[in-house]
Amino acid sequence: MADIKFTKMQATGNDFVVIETKRNRGWSALAGAMCERRFGVGADGIILVIPSGKADIRMRMFNPDGSEAEACGNGMRCLARYAIDRGLVSNGEITIETLGGLRKARPTGELMQVDMGEPIFKADLIPVKGTRDKVIDYPLNVDGRQLLLTCLSMSNPHAVLFIDEPVENFPLEIVGPKVEHNSFFPKRVNFEIANVMGKDRISARVWERGAGETLSCGTGACAIAVAARMHKFCGQKIDVMLPGGTLTIDWDGKGKVKLTGLAEEVFKGEWPG
């Protein structure tokens, strides 16, 4: 079997192995092997670039644990940059087919912007258990802590916690996996902790479903900004400052969420087929 050619991409420290393919194979197992940071390439996921019959390009994204994600904001920006730079699509607004639906991406100078769709607030569609109402400041008890979680979907499920202590001091590596796997979330959940620093700035960390803590998360940054506006902490345009860099989120309170940030190539390589 021929070796697999790949390109390593990163978007504010959220890194991906990007592979062009038209084939079916064991992508879940391959994701686990390639994403391993000591014995593999090292990444937060693999992204497949696939021809689409309904959009300019199709994207599939697999987490390091082999699970397939419905959406990935930073991944879409990496895919858009990859496809435009290689002439796979036009150098303008492009449409991307994902498990979470069609999305649009466009270059804005050196940055890439993605329309992330409208946030979903109905509990059974996020999904969370036990209610159909919006989930705002839901008290979830984890290790003796009462976490007031605001939950929503950005095509994948998120639980946002606003805290007063610096996000750097929060034991995310301990609490994160327990929130992710809590029975309240039937499809697991991405967990974000956030400090509101002003009307247009938030500092945050993210525990990603299937990946653990990452330096950045596009859908997570969108969820944080949406939750902040729901609480009237912030306005329409918010800079979410993550360990890997800053993402700018624009949401008018009723329509699609827009995500803007850097996406760039790191290196190319081949993986034994």
Residues 161 and 227 both lie in one domain: yes
What the block records as the tokens of 111 is 């940055």
Residues 251 and 134 in one domain: yes
Cα–Cα distances (Å) from 65 to 115, 174, 212, in that order, read 27, 18, 10
72 an active-site residue? yes
Contact predicate 258/75, CB 8 Å: no
The reported pTM is 0.94
CATH (domain of 22):
3.10.310.10
User: 93 with 181, same domain?
Assistant: no
Q: Are residues 130 and 75 in the same domain?
A: no
Full DSSP string of 40-82: S---S-EEEEE--SSSSEEEEEE-TTSPEES--HHHHHHHHHH
Amino acid occupying residue 28 = S
Q: From the candidates 72, 78, 151, 222, which is the catalytic residue?
A: 72
Residue 2 has pLDDT above 90, yes or no: no
Residues 55 and 141 in one domain: no
Hey, which residues does 146 pair with through a beta bridge?
Answer: 141
For residues 82 and 161, state if they share a domain: no
Q: Which domain holds residue 212?
A: 123-255
Position 118 in a domain: no
In terms of domains, do 171 and 57 share one? no
Write out pLDDT tens, residues 169-227.
999 999 999 999 999 999 999 999 999 999 999 999 999 999 999 999 999 999 999 99
Domain shared by 167 and 239, yes or no = yes
Establish whether 151 is a catalytic residue.
no
Q: State the total domains in the chain.
A: 2
Confidence of residue 83 (pLDDT cuts 50, 70, 90): very high
Using alpha carbons only, give the angle 191, 209, 263 rounded to the nearest 5 degrees: 90
Return d(Cα 2, Cα 123) in angstroms, integer: 46
Query: Which residue of the set 78, 217, 222, 234 is catalytic?
Result: 217
